[in-house]
Structure 1
């Protein structure tokens, strides 16, 4: 009997030095997908994802910028999606984190492969050229991946303080499982780094990232709509859950509505990845959650979101690790030892 699978698509920041050569190593059989993305890039005079992936070394100033990273991640994730063994898994729903919403649209069939490549590539270029501000990540969980009420109280007070400070712009960009991602202008970024309690990892400033999912990107909306036509959006084949936890069921929404969200609120409002995962898990009852590569950073936030909602009685990091040994709850295709579980 097939297992029901929820697929989760990665966002920016997931193709790093360890992922160099990902397409070459894992997807020789999916040359058609890579060729489609390459053609979109070549048509705009850009270096292809094949060339980026086969570089001799990883160069942050090249591989991490939005105009290149976005298309690379798209190609890797779509090839991973195509590699999932449909004889083992019935894919019942798709969601993603941040830029991962564009990937989810393609996986769900709301845009086709080439349309998704154009959308991702266009948005990566616009953000690279016109994005403002930046992002900072801060953890809100304890060592066992349970939400710390003290940290949540601190965030609440921080946001109240921001409302009275006219010289800074700070917003919640993404609710990412056990982390809060803040979006801010330059003054706000400096203020956050001074105000947020520090440990050996957080607060973490994300390099080459603009103030995604905040009003600081209001100016991007008309540019995005000018570059991406509504005609690229279709009816879909698999339910997709967006960054507000809303379900877009196949043939049950208008092109105008999903276009308005994707190139509107998705850019300027907070992205609640936590809620998206919780809704998808509750409504579609997956047996397994498959996180597409590249990268391995989205597994922990996914599990943290499930712990917060008590999905199937999941209560802690230790509980997850014990269950994972018995029968995998989560498969991260960015991990060599796990991707084989998802493929034939």
Structure 2
């Protein structure tokens, strides 16, 4: 070997993981106690609890352990958001990095804030401040609400005509007798609508009932719609761009835009996070598709709490034809033999990733 030659690097034998951070609605009765089980005694949780105490808020340890679960308490944005972040952080920190490497991070709605922490664009504590502040602002304004409705069939296969009909309802109903109605989140095989009470009431009357749909989301504001302009203005005053940095792991946002470690401008990242992201539709489906196409992960991981995001992820993967998926049955077959989608809120799936 000459003095100028370089040794050839060996390809990594680690499995590549795409992390998909959950949003609101994932910490429920079944998840109560999860944080205590996975993070009790951790230094970072003690810091988060101290930050909550400084704000005169119940600590996460108290909410997850001492305070019996009540949806009216634990479902509030100012409590649910930091609880979800802490549970997701605990799961991600538990992943065995000798066997797995995180190749990219994305998230759904509030999950974007968590992604900023997992991708190291924000420190753990700065991400906590962001999430705690946004949860508080959303809870105190609670402007509008959200409603969920599917556009896929019972095998999670796309029904484009149904989707077009659902989207046309926005144009039909918005502005009718004071109604406000918008697309809030494109969520796999479902659409999340945001609007005021008049708009959501009219939409509910128009939608054919099917199983548990249309589903009104408890204590959710009209996220990702123009109805959050006042929250956006307040957030930009309270949360400066200073803590934002260049991510160490690629991030994919709610438009499907890639924020790479080599090209990210931190101030632009702040401007999106506390700007466009708050008042325009969040396209989680596109974010997931871009993540899979760009980074070709071996597995997709949804950290806890809960597992409610798994269906939406699977529906988006069916649209993409990932690993030949074309139906709910095909997805269930894949999961049975060699789960490619791992929800860490399911304990037996969590065991796949943590250190033995």
Cα 1:52–1:326 shift into 2, 3 Å: same
Which 10-residue stretch deviates more, 229-238 or 35-44?
Answer: 35-44
**Whole-Å Cα distance in 1 between the matches of residues 255 and 151 of structure 2?**
20
**Whole-Å Cα distance in 2 between the matches of residues 27 and 160 of structure 1?**
46
Which 10-residue stretch deviates more, 162-171 or 100-109?
Answer: 162-171
In the other structure, the counterpart of 2:27 is 15
In the other structure, the counterpart of 2:17 is 5
In the other structure, the counterpart of 1:313 is 324
Shift in Å, 1:56: 4.9
In the other structure, the counterpart of 2:171 is 160
**Whole-Å Cα distance in 2 between the matches of residues 35 and 142 of structure 1?**
45
Report the number of matched residues: 343
In the other structure, the counterpart of 1:72 is 83
Q: Return 5+ residue gaps in structure 1 as ranges.
A: none
Pairing 1:253–2:260 present: no
In the other structure, the counterpart of 1:127 is 138
In the other structure, the counterpart of 1:112 is 123
The answer (yes or no) to whether the contact 2:318–2:327 under 8 Å persists in 1 is yes
Pairing 1:293–2:304 present: yes
1:42-101 superposed Cα distances (whole Å, 9 cap, x missing partner): 121111000000035211111000111111111111111101111111100000000000
1:123-181 superposed Cα distances (whole Å, 9 cap, x missing partner): 00001112300000001111111112332132132123135636211001000001100
**Whole-Å Cα distance in 1 between the matches of residues 256 and 29 of structure 2?**
32
1:179-218 superposed Cα distances (whole Å, 9 cap, x missing partner): 1000001111111111111112100001110000000111
In the other structure, the counterpart of 2:185 is 174
In the other structure, the counterpart of 1:221 is 232
Secondary structure, counterpart of 1:192 in structure 2: helix
Q: Return 5+ residue gaps in structure 2 as ranges.
A: 1-12
Pairwise mapping of residues 142-157 of structure 1 onto structure 2 (< 5 A)?
A: 142-157=153-168
The answer (yes or no) to whether the contact 1:131–1:220 under 8 Å persists in 2 is no
**Whole-Å Cα distance in 1 between the matches of residues 146 and 114 of structure 2?**
21
